Chains A and B, each alone.
Chain A
């Protein structure tokens, strides 16, 4: 499983990095960024979905492997 942020849609609402700090961070401008290459370990799968379902801009995609 992998998380991706569509940076065209992201407006820096910050829900992802508060709900799933192991997967997302904020850059110097406050926009959301994926940590590393976005790979989601099984114990983070729920947090990944939580972030996706709370992003007001529908900017988070999850690729199931």
Chain B
């Protein structure tokens, strides 16, 4: 079913839908209104779901793995079937895992994403950004989402997994299949997936015969306890990195450029005070947080006055938490030198984004290289900017007019 068949939302407090066109266009006023009038909203859509919009409630639920499970983190009409890997594992450990299994699955990947490891990829990212941008230097237009932001995380993940560079186009196609699969019915999904499975299986086999210094070999050699990872676990982890690492970072880079394209004075300031960029990036992450997660309620219970039922969804909106005036002064203002910024863009609690160090590095290098090449840029047409629908929010087309004066 496509979302255009759905009834438009009349009242977000009792019938919210995060795929409603008004939410896709501009969710912030919706959350501000809910926070005041109904801080944990409800909907019967998707078989029942709740939406906390205050930082306090989002933080409490993210930390409460006793009452909420991560078994699936993407809201849909169905719930995982009997054939799905049961909690506490789920299909894509560690993101779909609960304690105590979660810690083991996470521990396995943590060393790969530690800051010192991630720094090793910085020069690759810088070179990639340069290659993407150089053809546009001296020109008058670029789509900062399609021509630039999208390619950066795709290139990085392919590099980390050790996939051949000349497979770039094929890999990009698979990324779309995987990301779009989230919205499809199971039968359709399986059909679309076969080429992806074949491609990954071939790369896994190559790495088995000929180990490399990359993440694929690392996963193949990794041990849980003293057991090698099951092939599904290796494959699941590769999929997770694609699902978790690509449209998230693409969105974060895109939203930052979208903001700057409307604020030439901030572009000028960042060029003269490059030391401010890290602080500005944290503010872009707060104000335009790309990622909303989900949880399932484990058992019927009364939670903060809400009669929650087993298998109700929680739409865990880190983006709404990051706009809560009880937590942030002037939350709807983007203040690139905001000093106190305890934002939750990378989540809270045990599932804190494993890729946060990598994502921050990609954002910093992407913005540095962009600012280094273009002195002025603006939205070619504000209405031509389109935003993604679903739990990851960012510009999907972002046509800019370039000026080099």
Contact = CB atoms under 8 A, between A and B. Distances in A.
A16 B9 CA distance: 42
Nearest to A57: B348
A54 B350 contact: no
B95 to A, nearest CB: 14
A42 B121 CA distance: 35
Interface stretch (B19-27, B29-37, B338-346, B373-381): B338-346
B342 A11 contact: no
Contact of B356 (A14, A29, A50, A57): A14
B interface, over-half SS: helix
Interface string B314-350: 0000000000000000000000000111111010111
A5 interface: no
B218 to A, nearest CB: 14
Interface string B109-130: 0110111100000000000000
B107 interface: yes
B397 interface: no
Interface string A1-16: 0000000000111110
Interface residues of A, number: 19
Contacts of B352: 11-13
A26 B350 CA distance: 17
B348 A30 contact: no
Nearest to B118: A30
Interface string A21-65: 000001111100000000000000000001001111110000000
B342 A56 contact: yes
Given A11-B352, A12-B352, A26 B115 contact: yes
A29 B346 contact: no
Nearest to A18: B278
B357 interface: yes
Contact of A53 (B340, B348, B360): B340
A57 B114 CA distance: 18
Contacts of B342: 53-56, 58
Contacts of B114: 26-30
Contacts of B354: 30
Interface of B: 107, 110-111, 113-116, 278, 282, 339-344, 346, 348-350, 352, 354, 356-357, 360
12 contacts: A11-B350, A11-B352, A14-B357, A29-B107, A29-B111, A30-B354, A30-B357, A50-B339, A54-B282, A54-B340, A54-B341, A56-B348
